[in-house]
Amino acid sequence: MMQGILKNLEDYWYLVRDVWSTGVLGYSIGNILVAVAIFGFFYVLRGLFTRFVLAIADRWVERTETKVDDYIRDAIRNPLRFLFFALGFFFATEYLAFEGVARDFTENLNRSLITVAIFWALYNCVGPVSQGVKRLERVLTPEILEWLVAGAKTAVVLIAGATILQTWGIQVAPIIAGLGLFGVAVALGAQDLFKNLIGGMSILIERRFGIGDWIKVDGVVEGTVEKIGFRSTHVRQFDKAPVFVPNQQLSDNAVTNYSAMTYRRISWLIGVEYRTTHEQLRQICDGIERYLNSTDDFAKPPSAHIFVRVDSFGASSIDILVYCFTTTTVWGEWLAVKEALAYRIKQIVEGAGTGFAFPSRSIYVETLPPSPDEIVAAET
């Protein structure tokens, strides 16, 4: 009885050893645990690297005045942390010493991880490089630079994808040729997309407007430009509603860019009463003109015209033209300047001893109808 139990235990022990040595896919569980431990070691090393090395780099970068090292640090931080993951996977698979198809698979996977780390860093470096070429904004608009940055990032992603496909033995050239034929078919049905793309490029090249400009397109939109995309432009109306306008409409139609104004105009007709004398009219005109020339809120000749002249004899008033330009083009500030001018004009008109006219009508009667007494007298 006892010998039978011992024999069964011995058989079970042999079974355990066989399972331990066979493991998964012919690799012992012990080797798999060691590989997991190797991967875990690099994961812990990744945390230590982030906590100490990158922390030291952050303190060093903060002490420098240049911004280049800040951009480089931010660009390579996450790819370096990902590189520890790739290293852990590489040493773990090397320890397991795969053979045949498994070895080819793990080698391609390791190559893919390295490719991701490299192109991730390149992708992040596009932004810092664009910050370093800010001087080109004098030649190119910020919107064009934004398009170039977006195109560069797209190119990095496409090259990274092609590299990974090539690593796995997938030929990229036939795919590109197939996409070319597919693109011809798509282009026939996506003409509006290309028109909007070309329209956006013409907007940026001609510098019709930029981000933050106040524009108006009759019958289309009026508001502040927030983003110029490849297909449409994002305009925020003054009621805060967003409007996405196809670039073709902004390219083909007349666009008024109010933000490009050098000065902002005020054109008023001030109507005074007909009882106003010649001296009072001259006093009003001279007083308004002196005020416009005495404050810095208004542009002076020859940069801009200032006219204060008796313009016409209206139906119920003598009209004085006040024509001038404010130095500010900001709408809120322009309203404040215009309000101050209105107060001053009212003060000048009242100080001259006259008043503002209002619509009126005079009726002249040539003969009056007879009174009742005259009618009775005539009858008697």
Question: pLDDT of 164-185, one tens digit each?
Answer: 888 777 776 666 665 554 455 4
CATH domain 205-258 topology: SH3 type barrels. (2.30.30)
Count of C-beta atoms within a 10 Å radius of residue 35: 19
In the chain, where the domains are located: 19-182, 205-258, 264-351
pTM of the model: 0.51
Q: CA-CA distances (angstroms) from residue 294 to 103, 269, 298, 299?
A: 87, 21, 9, 10
- The structure tokens listed for 153 are 């990032």
Considering the segment(s) 264-351 as one domain, its CATH architecture is 2-Layer Sandwich (3.30)
Burial 317-334 (b: 16+ CB within 10 A, else e): bbbbebbbbbbbbeeeeb
Q: What is the pLDDT of residues 311-358, one digit of tens each?
A: 999 888 999 999 999 999 988 899 999 999 999 999 999 999 999 988
Q: How far apart are CA 55 and CA 42, in angstroms?
A: 18
Give the DSSP per-residue string, 229-268.
-SSEEEEEETTS-EEEEEHHHHHHS--EEGGG-SSEEEEE
Asked whether this chain's domains 205-258 and 264-351 adopt the same fold, the reply is no
- Is residue 268 over pLDDT 60? yes
- pLDDT at site 267: 95
How far apart, in Å, are the Cα atoms of 37 and each of 46, 50, 92, 109, 328?
14, 20, 8, 20, 69
CA distance 196 to 184: 17
What are 11-65's pLDDT values in tens digits? 555 555 555 556 555 566 666 777 778 878 887 877 777 777 777 777 776 777 6
Question: What is the predicted pLDDT for the residue at 265?
Answer: 93
